[in-house]
Every structure is written in structure tokens, then in C-alpha cells.
């Protein structure tokens, strides 16, 4: 499992970097809190996983988290003000693509960013959705 590194007050013009996980900058506190909750629960997971070409291909996406909780893969999307706040139709189409790709072995869970905006909330929500 990859290590998570916390930065003290490193600021970028576009957003704060909360830490590094698996070589990737974590720019949103909600994602950082979810990473910490997953690590605490010892869940095997991947962060920022390209799907159907990721950002580089029309119709692609980047999945916030893929959690491997046998016998299922659980895809967690954090719905914030900027990311994953698209139209209901577009969101439904992406969810259907995800479920088709994983042929019933995956579950897609959407979590509002406000529900994981503190470490305590993230710990509670992640425990509830995974177990």
C-alpha cells in the first residue's frame, strides 16, 4: 500500500496541496480526509484512477477512489463544487459506463464533499459505505 505524506501549509495559486499519496498531489481536503480514513481502515485502494482514457479522451473520467473490498470493487466519487457536479444525465451515463465495465463486480458510491469535510466525518462515512 502506498504511503501518504502530509505537507505543512504548502500553497499553490490554484489550490492548497494537502499532501502526497502514491506520488500524486492531493489538492482537496475532502480527498485527503478520505485517504486517511481508508488508510486507518487498512483498505486496499487506488487514488485518481483513469477510466476510459481519463481526462485525455472524450467520454473518459478519473475515478477518485477504487477500493478493493472482496468480493467487490467499490468506486467512490467525491461530489464537490468543482468536480463531479455535472448534469444528472451526464452523471448517470458515466455511472452506467462504470457498472458496465465492471460487470456487476463494482459498486459506485457518490459522497457529497460536505459529508467528508472533516477527518471525523470522513472516518464515519467511509466506514459506513465500505462495511
> Which pLDDT belongs to residue 103?
66
How many whole angstroms separate alpha carbon 27 and alpha carbon 17? 5
How far does Cα 57 stand from its chain's mean position? 20
Least reliable range by pLDDT among 17-21, 23-27, 94-98, 115-119: 94-98
- Cell 477504487, residue located: 66
Give ∠ CA 94-96-98 in degrees, rounded to 5.
70
Higher pLDDT, 11 or 73: 73
Tens digits of residue pLDDT in 82-129: 555 555 666 667 677 776 777 667 888 989 999 999 999 999 999 999
Report domain extents, the chain: 4-130
Count other C-beta atoms under 10 Å from residue 37's C-beta. Answer: 21
> Which pLDDT belongs to residue 10?
46
> Which pLDDT belongs to residue 100?
72
- The pTM for the full model equals 0.78
CATH architecture of 4-130: 3-Layer(aba) Sandwich (3.40)
Amino acid at each position: 500500500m502506498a504511503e501518504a505524506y502530509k505537507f505543512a501549509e504548502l500553497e499553490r495559486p490554484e489550490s492548497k496541496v494537502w499532501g502526497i499519496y502514491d506520488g500524486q498531489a492531493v489538492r482537496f481536503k475532502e480527498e485527503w480526509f478520505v485517504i486517511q480514513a481508508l488508510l486507518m481502515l487498512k483498505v486496499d485502494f487506488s487514488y485518481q484512477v483513469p477510466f476510459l482514457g481519463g481526462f485525455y479522451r472524450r467520454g473518459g473520467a478519473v475515478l477518485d477512489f477504487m477500493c478493493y473490498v472482496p468480493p467487490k470493487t467499490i468506486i467512490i466519487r467525491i461530489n464537490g463544487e468543482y468536480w463531479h457536479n455535472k448534469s444528472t444525465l451526464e452523471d448517470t451515463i458515466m455511472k452506467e459506463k462504470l457498472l458496465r465495465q465492471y460487470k456487476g463486480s463494482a459498486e459506485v458510491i457518490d459522497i457529497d464533499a460536505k459529508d467528508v469535510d472533516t477527518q471525523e466525518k470522513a472516518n464515519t462515512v467511509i466506514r459506513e459505505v465500505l462495511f
